[in-house]
């Protein structure tokens, strides 16, 4: 196994790890979803001196929480797909774009994204993604 192949193998493993972390962090907005449902389904329990909160507040929490969870899990799925593509040495451009997108997920995604971009921009690594050089996995 060459040095570049070893780098791709390690990047693939690290993509799996960061994907799991992103999926875990995507579950945090579940708190907003629960609060919104509580506001909608049991408004008398949170009623203050002025009465229960208006329903739009509950809907805001539900929508915000749901969208945040969906975006987080989608990001985790894309990172997982990039890790799988790196392991198979396919979809070079997708892996390169995901390396850039991962930089937003601080601190782990930033480190992984930078290393992914550094490795994938090397000409020798780009040749490994050439369809004529790929063996079946």
Instruction: Chunk the chain into consecutive blocks of 10 residues (it has 137) and report each block's average pLDDT, rounded to whole numbers.
Output: 91 97 96 94 82 90 97 97 95 95 93 95 89 53
pTM greater than the 0.85 cutoff: yes
What is the pLDDT, as a whole number, of residue 46? 78
CA–CA gap between residue 19 and residue 81 (Å, rounded): 9
- The total number of structural domains that make up the chain: 1
Model pLDDT, residue 132? 61
Tell me, what's the pLDDT at 131? 67
Provide the pLDDT for residue 47. 75
Report CA 43 to chain centroid distance, whole Å. 34
User: Which residue range(s) make up the domain with 119?
Assistant: 3-133
């Amino acid at each position: 196994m060459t040095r570049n192949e070893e780098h791709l193998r390690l990047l693939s493993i690290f993509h799996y790890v960061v994907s799991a972390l992103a999926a875990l962090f995507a579950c945090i907005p579940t708190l907003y979803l629960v609060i919104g449902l509580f506001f909608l389904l049991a408004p008398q329990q949170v009623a203050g001196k002025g009465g229960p909160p208006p329903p739009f507040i509950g809907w805001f929490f539900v929508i915000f929480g749901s969208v945040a969870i969906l975006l987080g899990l989608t990001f985790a799925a894309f990172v997982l797909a990039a890790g799988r593509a790196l392991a198979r040495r396919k979809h070079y451009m997708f892996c390169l774009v995901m390396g850039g997108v991962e930089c937003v997920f601080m601190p782990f995604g930033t480190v992984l994204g930078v290393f992914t971009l550094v490795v994938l921009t090397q000409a020798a690594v780009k040749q490994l993604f050439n369809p004529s050089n790929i063996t079946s996995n």
